[in-house]
Amino acid sequence: MSDPRAEARLRIRALLVDIFGGDRFVSGVPDTASLREAGVPSTALVSLLVAMEDAFGFEWDDEVRPEVLRTIDSLAGHVVETGAVGTAGGR
């Protein structure tokens, strides 16, 4: 896929589908919608962050700005910044 951020968004969506046990909820969440306003609780977000570490091969840092965690797109942007997609970094 030519767009690393788009690829990351798709992979993050797949992780969310796993966490929620189906795509009924996730399919209704736009890429740029606030995850917390969409109803993603902290426990699911924690699961997503852990799954992203495994899937993309990087580790989160405590100093990550809150804005990074707001949407699927902003999470994907962080993944791209870490170089975990579009390069050999992703698992």
Partner 1 sequence: MSADEAQDNHHDLSYREDIPRVRTREGVELYAETNGEGDITVTTLNNFFFSAPFWREYTEELVKHYRVLSYDLCNHGQSSRVEQEPTWEEHAEDLIGLLDALGIESTYLIGTSASTQLARDVALAHPDRVRGMVLAGPVVGPQGMRRHRGLQRAWLRTLNSYGMPELYSHMYPEVISTDMNEETGTPGFLGLRESFLAMSTAEELNNGLTLAQQGDPSPELLTRVQTPTLIALGDDDILLGPTAGQELAALFPKGRLALMPKAGHVPFLDDPEGFQEIVRKFVDEVESDV
> What residues make contact with partner 1 under the rule CB under 8 A?
20, 25, 35-46, 48-50, 53, 59-62, 64-66, 69
Per DSSP, the three-state class of 36 is helix
- Output the smallest distance, CB 5 to partner 1, in A: 20
CB closer to partner 1, 2 vs 43: 43
CB closer to partner 1, 36 vs 91: 36
CB closer to partner 1, 2 vs 59: 59
Per-residue burial over 31-62, b if 16 or more Cβ lie within 10 Å, else e, is beeebeeeebeeeebebbeebbeebbbbeeee
